[in-house]
Structure 1
């Protein structure tokens, strides 16, 4: 048997927005999910920051005040950059920006609005067993944008600390505490299933490693000698 590690998670998970870079080349910068075809890359990153801005601004108008105040307070207190790919200097704490949403054949532009927090994830048929994790803000959000599974086909979200299951559905948003034990129920769709059934969504959550690197970046203390120590420290913190 080979030494290849088998992931317990199924589906795909893609980080969006700001990133701490790879362990071998840590840097505070925009994620690089696509490395070729410059125009395609820029279009992808612009659209990514737009959809997260849409989620954030809809959440600000609909979710309980303590959730929004918690995440906003984290952004304001750390001055960590928002998810705004159009900003001339993406390593600054610009709160306001513009984004465009296409509805049918029409483009609707929102000007001078709060951009999303710095980091998030997009998921396709992603599931993970019971776990918890550290996060620099108390609450996190996820938005299920599309689901073709039937309710009986599983893939639902649960929070074990409270003994509750949240049935997934199109256009539904959940706020939860990452420090609570949570996960996804089993789905009838296996990881190699090539059918058209899918569940797609996105989340607003900030890795501890990103904040640690941002703090050092602000203090102009990031060097080749201390990057590894920063990342090891953040790993230890996340696993507590």
Structure 2
């Protein structure tokens, strides 16, 4: 009888197994036998005894399934061994370019160390710009026999960092200092973003701020009994009243149809309530309990930002036409305009006094000031004020302030802070409302205005001089006097009677854009023409809207409200 064929199960290394195989491995294994001998000598021997079972498989690491790939520490070895991918033509070309430029750049920076070292140490945008220009000049000077890199700054840093040991020791220290400053700069940018630019997204900080804001209740004065009275300029001293009355009486009227307005001397005994210069507060109507006024002191708290705003406002009022020639001081528009009454058109305002010039740089600077102001106001003024702006601009999709208009309108964009505030660039910042004004020493007689929404916002960016009587805000509908202060922001409803008191400067010698030693006050405001909605809807209709959008625009235009009251601007 031939010997029984025996089977041998040789142990195997753990490999990828299915879940079913893993379950089978957990069961007791049947006994196996040695394989049948294949040689003649072996076939004459009696069958061998059963072989012992292979050792159990080692448990799988925690979290791994039986069919998972091997651990990273045990890479799979491919047949023939792993091979590095050979460099492609682009990599070879880049390496050759680096090798060619290396000795030239080392010589350049070493011989001109006094010029390069300070720029390497500083990671500020200004230093990077200067350093980039310096390197671009160097690379272009050798362009006759080598290809200059497309990004000189990045290329040079990559090359220099790879050979720091070949340079004088001062360069290694400069790179280390630059790295430390970059880390500090990143932290500063993060802090500036959370406490200034995106403060409105920080509920914890805002809740703490709101607990410190006082609230007062005032009764609205009877119709026709507002104080100061309607239609009067308001002075806070006899000398101011006298000088302005003389000026108004003798100056040429810009519009001969209007009457000369009298100058009223403020009687503080008739003021119902006065807000001192250091107080942040909210005023509510005593009967309706609704917010009617808000003032926020120290809106920015950044001296460099105030200095930057001063630069922008001085340029604006000196180069652009004022919209209220019969009023004191200067007030110029910025952003979108509804055009003149005789020729309405939605467009970027055109109000330059001189020949047409490139205003790109100024427009971006002005947008920075207004964008920053809006983000701060959005965080610190009451919800009803900010919600009013958002509802109006969002409902009709009126473009936000964008110096790149007529590019596709966006609610959000980037904001670049001035160099004094770090020069940081923030993406995703909410753009400011599209209609604004810049003012310098501006005052108007007691008046009210009509807007397509309820609220207006202002920011006093500068208040200096040796006689600061005047320049204070008065909400005549409530007999409220608000003491002005630098870096303060106010919210009011233009439909209420209001004014700003006359400054103590001599009006005859008032020159827009020039500081007055006696009295100097500047600021910005977000105010909206009552015709901006209809002008925009017509513009939108004329620029290829769908049929349904045209019908919607026509319906919205019919909803324009009528009523009396002067316009803020044309």
Q: TM-score, normalised by structure 2?
A: 0.37
User: Hey, what does 1:117 align to over in structure 2?
Assistant: 433
Q: CA deviation at 1:204?
A: 0.5
Could you tell me how far apart the structure 2 residues matched to 1:165 and 1:12 are? Answer: 22
Structure 2 residue corresponding to 1:44, chosen from 355, 359, 362: 362
Q: Which moved more, 1:54-63 or 1:24-33?
A: 24-33
User: Hey, what does 2:395 align to over in structure 1?
Assistant: 77
Higher relative contact order (CA 8 A, sep 6+): 1
Pair 1:184–1:77, CA change in 2 (3 A): same
2:339, 2:347 within 8 Å by CA — same for their partners in 1?
yes
Q: SS of the residue aligned with 2:400? A: coil
Could you tell me how far apart the structure 2 residues matched to 1:199 and 1:208 are? Answer: 27
Could you tell me how far apart the structure 2 residues matched to 1:114 and 1:212 are? Answer: 24
Could you tell me how far apart the structure 2 residues matched to 1:25 and 1:193 are? Answer: 34
1:208, 1:238 within 8 Å by CA — same for their partners in 2?
no
In terms of fraction of residues, the more helix-rich structure is 2
| Cα distance per residue 1:128-153 (max 9 Å; x no partner) | 01000111111110000001146751
2:402, 2:409 within 8 Å by CA — same for their partners in 1?
no
Where does the alignment leave 5 or more consecutive residues of structure 2 unmatched? 1-249, 257-324, 511-515, 544-556
Say which one has the larger Rg. Answer: 2
Pair 1:93–1:159, CA change in 2 (3 A): same
User: Hey, what does 1:227 align to over in structure 2?
Assistant: none
User: Hey, what does 2:350 align to over in structure 1?
Assistant: 32
Structure 2 residue corresponding to 1:61, chosen from 379, 390, 393: 379
Pair 1:4–1:137, CA change in 2 (3 A): closer
Q: CA deviation at 1:36?
A: 2.4
User: Hey, what does 1:211 align to over in structure 2?
Assistant: 533
Where does the alignment leave 5 or more consecutive residues of structure 1 unmatched? 222-229
* Aligned positions, number: 226
User: Hey, what does 2:413 align to over in structure 1?
Assistant: 97
2:461, 2:488 within 8 Å by CA — same for their partners in 1?
yes
In terms of fraction of residues, the more strand-rich structure is 1
Could you tell me how far apart the structure 2 residues matched to 1:28 and 1:21 are? Answer: 6
| Cα distance per residue 1:50-87 (max 9 Å; x no partner) | 11111110011111111111111111111100001135
Structure 1 residue corresponding to 2:503, chosen from 150, 170, 187: 187
User: Hey, what does 2:422 align to over in structure 1?
Assistant: 106
1:151, 1:167 within 8 Å by CA — same for their partners in 2?
no
